[in-house]
């Protein structure tokens, strides 16, 4: 019997994502001028106010106020009417030095013996539903909001748009777990108040269906376009008008959108958030490593769907456990335990080795903090950092290295594919 599965996404203007982007922008500033920085920064945003807290160990100094205001303005909170804007909001800082008790368990004389920055379990997932090996409901949810942000910034259509928005996509699946059709799409977008409630809401729904969605669908592969029929149920701003939004409408916190950040509820999640954490925290780096493993295994043909779990003890370099679940989709004559043993042979999963392999000591994190950390396109870009204390710094960095299919040949050779 067919079934329904749903995933959601939130925009860069959602208060929780504003917090994530500030935390990761500050992390990038520290890593740009001191790649060995240890950083764990949490951000709270509310009406007219930003609160920064956390622990840092670094040889550099960052103008956190200026960096915070820059992020807020770039997202689009630039008007006093929003009750939260980059130029006028207050920024309270409560960042202090990292505990030496934690640091002594992480730093070692031999860098490769570096211990995990915390205990916990991290998951990576991949499947063949999309070209980037991500679950389709989440990918579509992200794409809707990414295109909505493009429309907002162009300022030519839907000129009433404000930065805060959410999406949700429900897919009907066949018995064999393949996508059958798009069942329901939910879009809630913050907007200016430009008319009486009823005609205003009717106009927004009409624009989402007739302007936004055709732009989204046009970017999709043919097999995904075929899933969009005439029987889709649309819920657009289903609670009514959405004028009060962003941090004024809802307090935001770093790390509250971990399912949006990963796989939309598919696979599993270990519970650890990503943003604001340097890669010595395996909550982040090992989750990226697990995704890298899962994606390369599926791309190599080991299985059509794979979940990888890594588990660590604080201060210990080697993972305490590696688990693989192929959900019965394996294309090799090995059980999941045997596949996990091969993963251990193929991938060095010590935290320092992960940092080195995926180039995680670079300022690459601001780009991850909205529209998902997984399923993104790897790219090499030039980034510029301008410090009032250390001058201007320009560097070339690789984004989303954990999405590269650079282990496929090694996996195929190891598994005899």
Is residue 33 within 8 A of residue 390, CB to CB? The reply is yes
CA distance 162 to 188: 11
CA distance 66 to 86: 9
List the binding residues for K(+): 42
List the binding residues for ATP: 14, 164-166, 241-242, 250, 256-257, 273, 277
Sequential DSSP letters for 321-385: EEEEE-TT-B-SS--HHHHHHHHHHH---SHHHHHHHHTTTSS--GGGSSS-SSSPPPEEEEEEE
List the binding residues: 14, 16, 42, 55, 98, 164-166, 241-242, 250, 256-257, 273, 277, 281
List the binding residues for L-methionine: 55, 98, 250, 281
- What are residue 358's DSSP bridge partners? none
Instruction: Give which of 292, 283, 311 is closest to 42, Cα–Cα.
Output: 283
Interacting residues of 73 by C-beta distance below 8 A, sequence separation 6+:
85, 86, 87
List the binding residues for Mg(2+): 16
Helix, strand, coil shares, percent, the chain, to 5: 35, 25, 40
How many Cβ atoms from other residues are within 10 Å of residue 320's Cβ?
12
């Amino acid at each position: 019997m067919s079934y329904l599965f749903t995933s959601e996404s939130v925009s860069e203007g959602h208060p929780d994502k504003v917090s994530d982007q500030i935390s990761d922008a500050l992390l990038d500033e520290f890593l740009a001028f001191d790649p060995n920085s240890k950083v764990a920064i949490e951000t709270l945003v509310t009406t007219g106010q930003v609160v920064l807290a956390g622990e840092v160990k670094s040889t550099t100094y960052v103008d956190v106020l200026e960096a915070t205001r820059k992020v807020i303005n770039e997202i689009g909170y630039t008007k006093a009417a929003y009750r939260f804007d980059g130029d006028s909001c207050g920024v309270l800082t409560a960042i202090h030095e990292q505990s030496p008790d934690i640091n002594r368990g992480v730093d070692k004389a031999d860098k490769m013996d570096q211990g995990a920055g915390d205990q916990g379990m991290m998951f990576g997932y991949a499947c063949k539903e999309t070209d980037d090996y991500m679950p389709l409901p989440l990918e579509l949810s992200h794409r809707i909001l990414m295109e909505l942000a493009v429309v907002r910034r162009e300022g030519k259509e839907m000129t009433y748009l404000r930065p805060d928005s959410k999406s949700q996509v429900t897919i009907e699946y066949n018995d064999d777990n393949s996508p059958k059709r798009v069942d329901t799409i939910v879009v809630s977008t913050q907007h200016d108040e430009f008319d009486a409630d009823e005609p205003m809401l009717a106009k927004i729904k009409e624009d989402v269906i007739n302007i936004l969605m055709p732009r989204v669908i046009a970017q999709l592969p043919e097999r995904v376009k075929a899933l969009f029929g005439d029987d889709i149920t649309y819920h657009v701003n289903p609670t009514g008008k959405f004028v009060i939004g962003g941090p004024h409408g809802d307090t935001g916190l770093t790390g509250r959108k971990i399912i949006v950040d990963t796989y939309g509820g598919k696979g599993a999640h270990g519970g650890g958030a990503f943003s604001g954490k340097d890669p010595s925290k395996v909550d982040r780096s090992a989750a990226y490593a697990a995704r890298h493993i899962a994606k390369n295994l599926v791309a190599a043909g080991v299985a059509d769907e794979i979940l990888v779990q890594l588990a660590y003890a604080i201060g210990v370099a080697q993972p305490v456990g590696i688990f693989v679940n192929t959900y019965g989709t394996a294309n090799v004559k090995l059980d999941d335990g045997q596949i996990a043993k091969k993963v251990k042979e193929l991938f060095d999963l010590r935290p320092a080795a992960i940092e080195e392999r995926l180039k995680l000591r670079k300022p690459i994190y601001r780009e991850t903090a909205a529209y998902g950390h997984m399923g993104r396109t790897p790219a090499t870009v030039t980034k510029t950092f301008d410090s009032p204390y250390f001058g201007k710094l320009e560097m070339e960095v690789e984004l989303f290295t954990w999405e590269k299919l650079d282990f496929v040949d090694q996996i195929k050779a190891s598994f005899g594919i």
